[in-house]
Amino acid sequence: MAEREFQFRNFAQGGERVPKELQMFIGGQWVKAASGAVRDILNPADNGTIALAAEGGERDAQKAIAAAKEAFYEGPWVETPPAERARLLFAVADLLAERGSDFAGSETLNTGKPLREAVYDVNDTAACFRYYAGICTKPHGQTYDVSDPMQTMVVREPIGVCGQIVPWNYPLLMAAWKLAPALAAGNTVVFKPSELTPVTAVMLFELLEKAGFPGGVANLVLGPGNTVGQAIASSLDVDKVAFTGGTKTGRSILEASVSNIKQVSLELGGKSPNIVFDDADWETAIDYALFGIFANQGEVCSAGSRLILHEKIHDHFIEELARRASKIRVGNGMDPETEMGPLISREHTEKVLHYIEIGRQEGARLICGGHRISAPPYDQGNFVEPTIFIDTTPEMRIVQEEIFGPVLVVQKFKDEDEAVRLANNSIYGLAGGVFTGDGARALRVIRRLRAGITWINCYNPTYNEAPWGGYKQSGLGRELGTFGYEEYTEVKQININLSVAPSGWFKG
């Protein structure tokens, strides 16, 4: 494996970058795209090429699906004991821990996120594999005492071939969230990372190979969503598709899945509210208001992108929030002093800047940021200032639509009922937070929020043990925890006759 390892020479010190050709992993073999096409993989900090990736297409997807189908229905994987599946997943976690710094550096180079955030992602990824390794050998079923002489039980079995498609904002972590439970449950996988961020997915599949997963069990296909993703979603041989990304694409996935009524889980967009009451702990509320929107450059589905402030503290809170936001250190993610990195691509940067202009045109007042950072050394990268809008109204596009960048919109409320109405006034229902010193009010408000992931007096913590997913147009199903494992299983009822004899129903 050493010759395939992804390497960079002294990049943090401005040294030479060494592009490597990233290949796909299909049927236990590393292969180029059938068409021979490749794509430049860019570093968002300067838009320089850091790798060349195979640009797969429909033929490559079909080949991977066929390999996964053969491995599930004809190979030994489905009969592999849970303890062996657990051993393989633990091995991946151990290998990942050994190469943690390599993975963190590569994740930062490919996504732009600060290195300290990438380190957290790598640690969480290893923990996710360990969690599902532990789930493998735990009880999964029920028994029922029904009328004599019958015994009934329910068992969980793998679904089959699972197509998995992940976004570019957390490419390594999202890979673990899907691969670990699917493999733990005994499925085979066709995995597609974002075409913008395939680097750590390739590195992870190298670890799957080294750990000893049989050929065809885990397959990696690179390429764009409109070809590779569409082929996976519409295939008659794919039994389940799991997708994380935008709501518009999620609808397309859902429509394509009708081909064979395959199972679908979707983790989609959000425009999540963060409610701060006048009795909230001041420092804590400001700290998490910043973290909720500017962590990972705001490229987070659950970002607290709508700050809903009580009118009594609004002006003072905003003054301090803007002061601190303007001091956030934006820069190259490889710089240890960087607190917020560049956006993923020039195209996405233009989208975010367009939303900022829409906010101006709608009449919202910009009190912080709002511009692209273009002075050297930022001129070649995709850097946008931390941005805050106030004086917004509920119907504004910047309040209703997901921007997916470092743009915070602020709303004002008078009482608890108005706070809840503003919070729930969205097509999305992924996440939400409440800050207050009143424990009863905190729980009342949280129970009224139409959201799947909520926090009280904090924002954004995520745990492998707890389910992740949303209400309304934020998706279907859940990831993580036992809920995430069950998403990759079928439920089978087994009825056993304990007194083997004819029923005597028919007399002839």
Asked, as a colleague might, if the bond just before 149 is cis with ω within 30 of 0, I would say yes
Q: Which of 379, 327, 339 is nearest to 112 (CA)?
A: 339
267 part of the active site: yes
CB within 8 Å of 277: residues ≥ 6 apart: 310, 419, 434, 435, 436, 437, 438, 441
Return the SS3 of 9.
Answer: coil
User: b/e string for 350-360 if b means 16 or more Cβ within 10 A?
Assistant: eebbebbeebe
DSSP-derived letter for residue 329 is -
Q: What pairing do the DSSP bridges indicate for beta strands 38-43 and 161-165?
A: unpaired
Distance CA 149, CA 436 (A): 58
- The 8-class DSSP code of residue 501 comes to S
From residue 16, how far is each of 27, 77, 240 by CA, in Å? 34, 43, 42
User: How far is the C-alpha of 442 from the C-alpha of 458, rounded, in Å?
Assistant: 12
Residue ranges of E strands in 146-228? 150-158, 161-165, 188-192, 218-220
Which residue is catalytic, options 58, 107, 117, 267?
Answer: 267
Catalytic residue among 301, 385, 479, 486: 301
- Catalytic (active site) residue 301: yes
Show which residues are catalytic.
267, 301
